[in-house]
């Protein structure tokens, strides 16, 4: 009888821990769903179909004149300056922001930062290298 109670309590404990883990996972999924990667093809489609789309290029000013130029309508705030210049983006808080850099690494970091600050942001997977790929 004591053994049955111990088994019952052990099963109850394991079930409780599993439920707590599941509830935390759901919270993380909600946050992750507001940030996602998009392909260059999806970006180009959004550029044609969403006049409110904001494109944020987080490369340095020097990179904008190199072999991978800036998308004409893009706003440029280098990743190194983004946290300090976040207020410049407040007017776009209710709009979708596509974040791009040279290859997608910096834009992923910038996208995470934007999402943590309440923005609707998507990272352009592959960056400008994929955008201008022939």
Return the DSSP state at 117: T
Q: d(Cα 37, Cα 98) in Å, to the nearest integer?
A: 9
Is 22 an annotated catalytic residue? no
Q: Across-strand partners of 120?
A: 96
Assess contact for 44 and 126: CB atoms under 8 A: no
Strand pairing category for 96-100 and 120-124? parallel
Annotated catalytic residue, options 38, 54, 71, 101: 101
Active site residues: 101
């Amino acid at each position: 009888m004591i053994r049955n109670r111990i088994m019952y309590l052990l099963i109850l404990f394991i079930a409780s821990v599993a439920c707590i883990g599941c509830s935390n996972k759901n919270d993380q999924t909600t946050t992750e769903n507001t940030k996602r990667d998009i392909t260059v093809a999806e970006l180009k489609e959004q550029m044609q179909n969403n006049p409110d789309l904001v494109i944020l290029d987080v490369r340095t000013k020097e990179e904008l004149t190199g072999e991978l130029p800036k998308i004409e309508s893009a706003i440029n705030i280098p990743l190194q300056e983004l946290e300090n210049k976040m207020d410049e983006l407040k007017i776009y808080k209710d709009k979708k922001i596509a974040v791009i850099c040279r290859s997608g690494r910096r834009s992923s970091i910038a996208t995470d930062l934007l999402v943590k600050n309440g923005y609707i942001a998507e990272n352009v997977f592959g960056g400008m290298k994929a955008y201008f790929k022939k």
